[in-house]
Amino acid sequence: MKITCDRELLLSAFQTAAMVAPSRSPKPILQNVKLEIEEQSKILMATDMEVGVRIALDGIEVESAGSAVLPVTRFGSILRENSDEKLQVEADAQGVKVRGERSEFNLPGQNPDEFPSVVSFEEEKYHKIPARLFRELVRRTIFATDTESSRYALGGVLLEMEADSITAVGTDGRRLAKMNGTAESIGGHETGETMTIVPSRSMQLMERALTDGEGEILIAARGNDVLIKSAKATLYSRLVEGRFPKWRDVFPVRQDALQINITVGPMYSALRQAAIVTDEESRGVDFTFGEGKLILAGSTAEVGQSRVELPIPYEGEAIILTLDHRFVADFLKVLEAEKTFTVEIENEESAALFSTEDGYGYVVMPLARDR
């Protein structure tokens, strides 16, 4: 194999693939990224046997086809530290040689045939969704998952796909985030009763692999795995085993609940101020809604007290709710500052429901007032 590559383009793709390669493995070959050059395709691939990625490369001039196994740390460092616009990469049975205008590196070789295959996207049934929507599905739900829990089902994002929609749900048992949007089913693809729970890490990897210019991505849920394809990358991931909570039961159905519209930016600023006096043991902030204002108050014996006011369109009787400030901040962080959301509350013992007009819902359980 012998190629000339655009260093910046190869570096970007290599860094994405390297996120999949394990830092430690019983199979040392997995601690590498495989470069496969054919006449019609130029692919980087990596896998840890649970997750796999294939990335199509641009900026490659092929002198001779072939393949090479590239060590993540060393080859990545060469691409990152070198300043040349173009690099020449040559591989044979003896090793890999990288040449720049004034530099040359020789790395020991490994047999590319020993690298496991990474599945490509050849499905006839799948969902087609806008890339921008997929990015929002990930950003707005992944923070609510629980990767430390012994309940493995909580360590991933549930994807439910119907004829013309997709819904993503993440929860750690104390809060739950849900995002849905329009999607197109191809070939009758639907998840039905199947629990399609994608590991949080896999969702993060695909979100990072997407670029702003991509229009649509394809998602195919299979029995034990899922395939996600963008214009440049294909991600394979095994699914999380287990039963996901009945998330629809978590969303409160209320007839007379109080609903207040608030702008994200001012709310987030007030919350950050109120949270200054909190600590790991005392994370609760009191939210007092009433008399045309929202009062956020924090208190910790060793640190002090805080009180921040925010005007709101509610003049009625005060309702006080104590919430973990981090959970509320997580919701606000994934929204634009100028966006408006609705908070729905009933009493100090009931969950708070935050929602937006574009299909995003977030439920937070309150803390005990005597914290």
Spatial contact of 245 and 195, defined as CB atoms under 8 Å apart: no
* Chain mean position to CA 165: 19
Structure tokens of 187?
Answer: 């070939």
Q: What pLDDT band is residue 353 in, cutting at 50, 70 and 90? A: very high
Residues of CATH 3.10.150.10 domain(s) within the chain? 2-114, 126-248, 252-364
What 3-state class would DSSP assign to 165? strand
pLDDT given at position 145: 95
Is residue 371 over pLDDT 50?
no
Residue of 1, 17, 31 whose CA lies nearest to 9: 17
pLDDT given at position 264: 98
Write out pLDDT tens, residues 60-114: 999 999 999 999 999 999 999 999 999 999 999 889 999 999 999 999 989 999 9
Which helix (DSSP H) or strand (DSSP E) does residue 267 occupy?
A: helix 264-274
pLDDT given at position 20: 93
What are all long-range contacts of 364-367, with beta carbons under 8 Å and residues at least 24 apart?
A: 364/174, 364/175, 364/323, 364/324, 364/327, 364/328, 364/331, 365/174, 365/175, 366/321, 366/322, 366/323, 367/283, 367/284, 367/322, 367/323, 367/324
Mean pLDDT of 214-223: 89
Mean pLDDT of the chain: 92
Taking each helix axis as running N to C, give the angle between helix 325-333 and helix 264-274, from 0 to 180 degrees, rounded to the nearest 10: 150
Class assignment of domain 252-364? alpha beta
pLDDT given at position 205: 86
What 3-state class would DSSP assign to 45? strand
Write out pLDDT tens, residues 247-285: 999 887 877 889 999 999 999 999 999 999 998 878 899
Mean pLDDT of 168-193: 95
pLDDT given at position 289: 96
Structure tokens of 198?
Answer: 């994608």
Query: How far is the C-alpha of 247 from the C-alpha of 244, rounded, in Å?
Result: 8
For residue 190, which amino acid is it? E
Write out pLDDT tens, residues 188-205: 999 988 899 999 989 988
Is residue 370 over pLDDT 60?
no
Q: What pLDDT band is residue 214 in, cutting at 50, 70 and 90? A: low
What 3-state class would DSSP assign to 262? strand
CATH topology of domain 2-114: DNA Polymerase III; Chain A, domain 2 (3.10.150)
Q: What share of the chain is helix, strand, coil (3-state, %, to 5)?
A: 20, 40, 35
Span 126-248 CATH architecture: Roll (3.10)
Residue of 7, 16, 15 whose CA lies nearest to 209: 16
Query: How far is the C-alpha of 134 from the C-alpha of 217, rounded, in Å?
Result: 8
pLDDT given at position 278: 92
